[in-house]
Structure 1
């Protein structure tokens, strides 16, 4: 019975690999166009945001936290199925637990909390591809979601909260955005530069940053704010307008044009994909 249940559970998902849409889009370097959307949305779940606040170097060294977090998640997707990368990611979170301001307990490995973090990455793939590459068909969205179930199961965390199908995931996402997420201080900190500007990056001289920041900060604010769901924008108090929305949609539409996609597809692999994706495709 156990083997039958396991086979049935696996049959409801699709594999990751060179032919999968998750591989095609997740490591695409155009992903930078969506800004920090998944990271900010993750931290809008109060329990997850509190865990970052209590245990992470996010506030003292944001770049270090990003550099430490991205590689193991990428390797969970692009690494071999039996590499154990997903369970290593899970084990990083075993001691991330504590008390919420209201006295309730939180733990990063609570299935509802852990799945929300994964859901933001799934939605990241869907949003990026549909906004900056091509309008996805319903079948493509369902395929991406079915592949993402294989991805999630590599973590070895209970998949109890995982919706069965793409339509269920859509309903889950809408409920989280409408009723659950909040403007947690961690998320607010993550988008603070939209109104305050970026601090001077390490390695740049004050003069260099003084010359670059008037150009860089407005672009970063436009990409970040435009790339957030309207509900998140409202909760976080991010400035936006109908004029900016039209500009953002026009910006995205240019990237979706046949000419831009034709040119992008003919660039060398090393320019189109990050190193983790390149290694995955090379391994086959």
Structure 2
């Protein structure tokens, strides 16, 4: 069969979702993934096409926390929704249909360009590696290879072209190195993601007085950016102008070990985002297999004037 024929056959075969036997299930929906949010957002936005789409179409900076927590539901659903995961993936892909245009340098872009869309997925895959390496006690080389194989299955859920997907773990490492050294750019969308000096209070800290948050958010912002810089590849640090010392590296490892130790005290289900937790409960027989997916609560919905936008996940939930 020709390569084109193989791709056509793959499209006609319903993709097989990941399940609780996968390492991706163990890692991706863990709350420790929030510690990598700045890394993932900045790595995605450094891609020229993706960064241009964010600059010209996204309202992310109008509602940082809401957008972050809202997005975790459908993105997590592609991993944890079981038989419904394919449908969830097609919904996620659909939010990108209208995101296209011409960037400031005259380059055309579209969020569904296969290379652009795969880059976003590649950052999610590498997120699982970074979370496992930095905040879960480390990964073996065999586990990295397993995560690579799983990320291919995961990506098939979107019914996108498989052309950009590297064939082997070694090919992916070369792909990632080339992206970091030859393709990624220092742009406004990336700098905006990393600038959290005036970020609003996280939802979990609503009880904290505003004046106290204004004092705390400066060191908190510096700490999160430092944590993020520690997870960049050196070419990305160089691109963005960040300095990283051996002392920083030692402190970063200690911080990761402390976070991992703290999470050993958290009950298993409570380590996971609600969409992931629901997947685990169905898989473990604690909830019926036909239990509907958990949707974002109303507090995370887009602003009223944005809810009809085709680019938004905005389920019909009560205020």
Unaligned runs of 5+ in 1: none
Query: Which residue is 2:112 aligned to?
Result: 109
Relative to 1, partners in 2 of residues 1:26 and 1:199: Cα closer, same or farther, differing over 3 Å? closer
- What is the 5 A alignment of 1:78-89? 78-83=80-85, 84-89=87-92
Query: Which residue is 1:201 aligned to?
Result: 201
Relative to 1, partners in 2 of residues 1:114 and 1:206: Cα closer, same or farther, differing over 3 Å? same
Counterpart CA distance in 2 for 1:218 and 1:106 is 33
Query: Which residue is 2:242 aligned to?
Result: 238
Shift in Å, 1:81: 3.6
Instruction: Check conservation: 1:14, 1:143, Cα contact below 8 A.
Output: no
Structure 2 residue corresponding to 1:248, chosen from 235, 247, 252:
252
Shift in Å, 1:58: 1.8
Query: Which residue is 1:150 aligned to?
Result: 153
Query: Which residue is 2:48 aligned to?
Result: 46
Shift in Å, 1:15: 5.4
Query: Which residue is 2:278 aligned to?
Result: 279
Relative to 1, partners in 2 of residues 1:7 and 1:217: Cα closer, same or farther, differing over 3 Å? closer
Shift in Å, 1:101: 1.9
Relative to 1, partners in 2 of residues 1:266 and 1:53: Cα closer, same or farther, differing over 3 Å? same
Instruction: Check conservation: 2:7, 2:162, Cα contact below 8 A.
Output: no
Counterpart CA distance in 1 for 2:138 and 2:201 is 36
Counterpart CA distance in 1 for 2:227 and 2:35 is 7
| Aligned Cα root-mean-square deviation (Å) | 2.7
1:138-197 CA-partner distances (Å, limit 9, x unpaired)? 22111111111111111111111001111111111111001110111100111123xxx2
Structure 2 residue corresponding to 1:225, chosen from 207, 223, 229:
229
Counterpart CA distance in 2 for 1:205 and 1:255 is 26
Relative to 1, partners in 2 of residues 1:255 and 1:266: Cα closer, same or farther, differing over 3 Å? closer
Q: 1:130 aligned to 2:133?
A: yes
Structure 2 residue corresponding to 1:190, chosen from 190, 193, 197:
193
Instruction: Check conservation: 1:14, 1:149, Cα contact below 8 A.
Output: no
Q: How many residues align?
A: 274
| SS of match in other structure, 1:22 | helix
Relative to 1, partners in 2 of residues 1:31 and 1:67: Cα closer, same or farther, differing over 3 Å? closer
TM-score, structure 1 as length reference: 0.86
Shift in Å, 1:35: 4.5
Relative to 1, partners in 2 of residues 1:169 and 1:96: Cα closer, same or farther, differing over 3 Å? same
| SS of match in other structure, 2:109 | strand
Q: 1:164 aligned to 2:167?
A: yes
Q: Which runs of 4+ in 1 moved over 6 A?
A: none
Shift in Å, 1:215: 4.6
Shift in Å, 1:73: 0.7
Shift in Å, 1:120: 0.2
Instruction: Check conservation: 1:57, 1:64, Cα contact below 8 A.
Output: no
| SS of match in other structure, 1:106 | strand
Counterpart CA distance in 1 for 2:193 and 2:7 is 40
Counterpart CA distance in 1 for 2:234 and 2:183 is 15
Instruction: Check conservation: 2:114, 2:161, Cα contact below 8 A.
Output: yes
